[in-house]
Structure formats: structure tokens, C-alpha cells
Amino acid sequence: MKFRILHEIKGRMRIHAAQKSMTDREADTLRYYLENCAVIQDAKVYERTQDVVIRFSGDRETVIGVLRAFSYECVQVPDSVLDLSGRKTNREYLDKLAGQVIVHYGKKLILPYSVRCVIAAAKSLKYIWKGVRSVLNRRIEVALLDGVAIAVSVLRRDMKTASSVMFLLSIGETLEEWTHKKSVDDLARSMSLNISKVWLAADGTEVLTDASRINAGDQIVVHMGNVIPFDGIVTAGEGMVNQSSLTGESLPVEKKERGYVYAGTVLEEGELTIQVKETSGATKYEKIVAMIEETEKLKSSVESRAEHLADRLVPYTLLGTGLVYLLTRNTTKALSVLMVDFSCALKLAMPITVLSAIREAGRHHITVKGGKFLEKTAEADTIIFDKTGTLTKAHPVVAEVISFNGESEDELLRTAACLEEHFPHSMAKAVVNAAKEKGLEHEEKHSKVEYIVAHGISSQVDGKKVVIGSYHFVFEDEKCSVPSHMQETFANLPAEYSQLYLAVEGELAAVICISDPIRAEAAEVISMLKKSGFSKIVMMTGDSGRTASAVARMVGVDEYYAEVLPEDKAAFVEREHAQGRKVIMIGDGVNDSPALSAADVGIAISDGAQIAREVADITVEADNLYALAALRSISKSMVQRIRKNYVQIVTINSGLILLGVAGIIQPTTSALLHNTSTLAISMKCMGGWKVKETEGQID
């Protein structure tokens, strides 16, 4: 790619692409390419100006080389990235807003006053009819107040005021529509699939295959705890499928042969073989959008309160207008009350504030599925961390394989990887990656694999029963034993590692030691969260008490619980609720999903299991935990900003009413100042977020 450097400082560069124009697709392709380069931390592409802003680490010349090597034709971008980027929606609404402003002020410059009056009178009919319809439906709400204000202005031949009020209302409608559309799109994108590999059933075996290579009619196998990647018909197996992301049903639905399953739903129990019917990712996206638009899932209670308060204020505004007229017999003073509409500012400023907060969270790689979850994050006083993959690194590694049955370490690792590759957990990934690094091929030589959540895996390999998992599962549930001549080795296992136990035919065959280092920023983030107002910070893990104690001491949590099961985590959340506490749960695994669902806010780590991301309300990138502190700061700032908006709106508009009743200002001036203050508050709501990326603090 040819480009020109416009500006640069250390770690940041702004360039201009040397091309006549840039389409949405090209902009998304370029951004995808840059964000997947190791040296580039963040990239923003502006298609209108063909400018690109890049934040990078490392060598400047490397970045320039990356840019020079770029070509639109050579980058393969997933269809979901291009189809669901949201760039087109944002541009459409920006163009719509700009068009409304240009037309409104352009008419004043071009059209004579008489023509503008005719246009204003024609436009007023829409708002007046809405007010009449409100009365016919026996509802006193904002539409009635708007209709009365516009009708009175038209009857008084004050077309300037009527036109100004209608302009502001149209801007508000566009912003509200944009807020809703963007929130729905952001939520739908966060729920859309990001599955790169699936198990293809072929010739009696399962082969791990790129999802992009699957065609309609292919047979795929979905194991427990995984997201179903495509719409299709069940041809074998039975299972319980969580369809809450599409239907809102809280209980899983039984699926068996000839049953239909939908992309994006989660297989909670069992195993299904599915004949693929549709491979289009857009289908699920459209279903999600339709589902969301029929619910109030996105709306925060502060937005709902603003709407309800706006409607409740209508009778008082009308009553105030009537009282002023009765007491003064002065139409001008009465209109001064009518022209100052509290509801307009309330209904405009609140959604913009929430949208702005969600957008700011996105800048910190935090996906929020609705405004109400930011509000609940601000109110929470208890936060629960899963240990593995959350407080510890998202990519644990195998440090050592200790043989207990005389077989080679490589052969034992090969067997373990053969079982673990079917299930989504950071420990499982560590085993599979270790085998891959050693070049250990592990063909499917086992029978059906049974996964017991938070315990382990059981299967048959070469006719022998093989289990792998936690101490509790292998030795207490499965009653396996340690070879007598290896008791001393077993007693002296390295304390600094987490352990996976592999047993064959009831006897321990190997212990796989997993190095799961604590995140460097974990202790600092815990301290920051305490300062932000959390009174209880808890760590829960299925690991041993010895490992849990060491981690808890190093990161500084208030309480910790070891060797817990998924139901234990969910039960703890319910106990906290019973005590009147508001709870955030943070996890990344299949075993965390019940607690993520039970908490007031469930937060998933992006590198975790698909089911965790599906049921969570918020997803944060796995790079570091500072995003959690930023999330807390953004959410608290959002609530503070909304409260401040209430005070400003009530103060300004009350002052305008008093000035109008006193005869100091005319209704036209009152409407102008009201409209100006509403736009000013709304514009202020759209920006001003300053979050330090390494500390999560708002300036």
C-alpha cells in the first residue's frame, strides 16, 4: 500500500492512504489486517478521509514495513467482520443528522418566509396528530405536550418557534433511533459466532476442520459445553440445548434425532451429530436483532426512568400553563411554560449518555450487551473471580509430565491431548498445545468421550477405560489408585504447579503439571477495584486448597474458596443476593457459566469458553485485567453524569419557566434557550471520557 505519514509521535502514527476513495469494505479489511499484526496495538480507519491512526509498540520501521506489505487482495477477512462491522450504520446516521441540520438552516437562507411557513405548517400536522392520538388513547404523555406546543405556535403564526421545536424533536428522534440501532447491533455482534474450527463427522471418525470449509449437508459433531455453529437437524445423539440467546427461555430444551437446532445456541449436556442446513452467519445475526428489538433487554433503568419521568411531567406542564393563564390572563406568559419541555431534554440526554459509555467501553476492548449492565456494574459491591484463565494467565502451559505407569511422557501426553482437544478450557488448551509443539499426532482412537463439567473426562482408549481430570474426579469419584511403588513420587509432586491426573483402568498413569502464572497486573487491579468501592472481592477455583491459598495471598482478595463445583459458585452468588448484595462474576470456563448467569453482571474473558461468552453480559479482552478497572470507572462515571444531567435539566428549564412567567423573556426566546440548552447537554454527553488505559481511572 502507498501512503503518506501525516503526523507521528512515539508509539503513534497517522497516515493517509494514497487512493482516490475508500469503501466501507476496504476500511474494515485494512483495520482487520492491522489489528492482527503483532506490533500494532490499535488501529482506527476513517474511510471518508482515507486516514489511519495507529498505536504500536516496538520498532517504527517494522510498522512501516507492515503498511507497505498490505494489499486488499491478499487479506482474507471473515465474512462476519465485514458484514457486522457497524461502519455503514454509523455513517448513515451521521449523514442523516448532517442532512437535517443543513436542510433546517439552509431553508432560512434560500426560501422566502412565506414558503417556510407553509412547510412548517405541513410538518406540524404529524406532531399534532400524534398528540390527538394520545388523547384518543386516553394517555397524557410527551406526544400530547409536543403537539399542543406546536399547535399553539402555529395558531399564533409563530412559525419560527414551531419550526425550531420540530427541528429539535427530529434531531432527538434520529439520535434515539441511532442509539437503539447501535446498541442492538453491538449486542448482536457480540453474540454472533466466532467459531473457526468444528468437528466434521467423516468415515466414522471426527476430524477437526475449518468452519469455513463446512457446506450444507455435512455432518458435524458438537460436544457438551460448545456453541452450535450452524443451523441443522440432529441425526444422532441427545442433548439439552440452551436457547436463551435466541428465545429468552431460561431452561434448556431437549434435542434428539430429527430435532432442529439453531446456530449460536449452546449444548449444555450430551452430544449431538448435526446435518448442516445453513452456513450463513448473517442468519443468526438477523434472528438476534429481531429477538432484541422485541425486548427491553438493552434499556438501563435510568433510561426507563427518564422516559417515565418525562411522561409524568406532562400533566404538570399542562397544568402549569393553564394556571399561569388563569392567574395572569396573559397568553405570552402561559406559552413560556408550554415551550419549556423537561421531557425533551430528559429523553434525549439519557440515551446519548448510555450510548457514549458503551462506545467508550468498546474503545477499551470491552463489549457491553446493554446499558443496564453498566448501571449494575456501577452499583455492585461484591466481585467474584474464577482463578484459572482470569487471575492467572489465559494461556497456561504444560511444565512437566510425570509418568506413573512406565510409559513414555510423550505417549502419555499424546493420550491426554487426544481426550482434551474436544473440550473448551484453558487447561485443556495447554495439554493440546504441548502435544502440538512436540509434533505428537493423536488420531481419534477412543470411543465416545464423556465430559463431566468441572471434574474431568472419561472415555475408552484401545478397549481400556481412561479418565483425566481433577484429584476429586480421578481419586474420589472414579476410585483410582496410585501404584504402590510410586507413592513417594506422588507425595512430592511440585507444589508450584496445578495438576491434571490421567488414569488407565483405575490406576494413575501420569500427572501433568500445569504452569499457570498469575497475571502481572492482578494484584494492582484488585487493589484498584477495592478503591473503586467493592467491599468484598472473592476468588473461587476448582484447584487444590494449597494452590488457591498461595494465589489468594499474592493477589490480595478478601476471601477464597478451593475445590468448588459450578453449582457451588452459583450458590455463593445466591447467598450474596440473599444478603442484599449486588454481585459481579468474572470467569472464562464452562464451569463458570451457571454463576455468570446467576450474577447481576456476568463478565467473560474473551479467550474463554464459548458458552461463557454466550451467557455473559459483558466480555473483556484477555490481554490484561486493567479493562475491569476501566469498566468500573466508565460505569460509575455514566451514572454520575446522568444524575448531573437531571440536575442541570431541572435547574435550567425551571429557570426558563420563571423568567417567562415574570415576563422577562418571550416564548420564542424561551424555546430557543430551551432547545439550545438541550443540544448543549446532549453534545456534552457524547464525549469527555478520559480513561487511563493502564489504570482504568477517569480524569
Question: Residue 374: which of 104, 143, 581, 642 has the closest Cα?
Answer: 642
Which residue type is seen at 484?
Answer: S
Grid cell, residue 560, equals 477464597
Which residue type is seen at 78?
Answer: P
- pLDDT at position 391: 87
Cβ atoms within 10 Å of 657's Cβ, excluding its own: 23
Return left, alpha or beta for 138; rule: phi > 0 is left, psi -120 to 50 is alpha, else beta: left
Q: What pTM, to 2 d.p., does this model score?
A: 0.65
Grid cell, residue 515, equals 504452569
- pLDDT at position 282: 46
Exposed/middle/buried for 476, CB within 10 Å: 0-12, 13-18, 19+? exposed
Grid cell, residue 173, equals 428522534
- pLDDT at position 698: 43
Output the CA–CA distances (angstroms, integers) from residue 256 to 36, 215, 217, 249, 253, in the order listed.
40, 22, 18, 18, 10
- pLDDT at position 695: 45
Contact 226, 257 (CB under 8 A): no
- pLDDT at position 692: 54
- pLDDT at position 606: 75
| Average pLDDT across the chain, whole number | 81
Q: Which residue has the cell 449431538?
A: 272
- pLDDT at position 477: 87
Q: What is the CA radius of gyration of the chain?
A: 30
* CA torsion angle 34 40 44 45 (round to 10): -30
Residues 520, 97: Cα–Cα separation, whole Å: 45
Q: Side-chain half-sphere of 341: how many Cα atoms within 13 Å?
A: 28
Cβ atoms within 10 Å of 497's Cβ, excluding its own: 18
- DSSP, collapsed to helix, strand or coil, labels residue 4 as strand
Grid cell, residue 441, equals 499426532
Grid cell, residue 77, equals 477477512
Which run of H or E residues covers position 156? none
- pLDDT at position 250: 52
Residues 148, 136: Cα–Cα separation, whole Å: 14
- pLDDT at position 381: 94
Q: Which residues of the chain have pLDDT under 50?
A: 282-283, 291-292, 294-296, 693-699
Q: Provide long-range contacts, Cβ within 8 A and 24+ apart, for 412-415.
A: 412/502, 412/509, 412/510, 412/512, 413/438, 413/440, 413/510, 413/512, 414/440, 414/441, 414/442, 415/442, 415/461, 415/466, 415/502
Output the CA–CA distances (angstroms, integers) from residue 417 to 204, 445, 457, 521, in the order listed.
20, 12, 11, 31
Which residue type is seen at 439?
Answer: G
- Please state the length of the chain: 699
Q: Which domains does the chain have, with CATH numbers?
A: 3-77 (3.30.70), 92-188+298-353+637-685 (no CATH), 197-283 (2.70.150.10), 366-392+519-622 (3.40.50.1000), 397-515 (3.40.1110.10)
What single string gives the DSSP state of each residue in 524-584? Answer: HHHHHHHHTT-SEEEEE-SS-HHHHHHHHHHHT-SEEE-S--HHHHHHHHHHHHHTT--EE
Output the CA–CA distances (angstroms, integers) from residue 547 to 80, 539, 567, in the order listed.
41, 12, 21
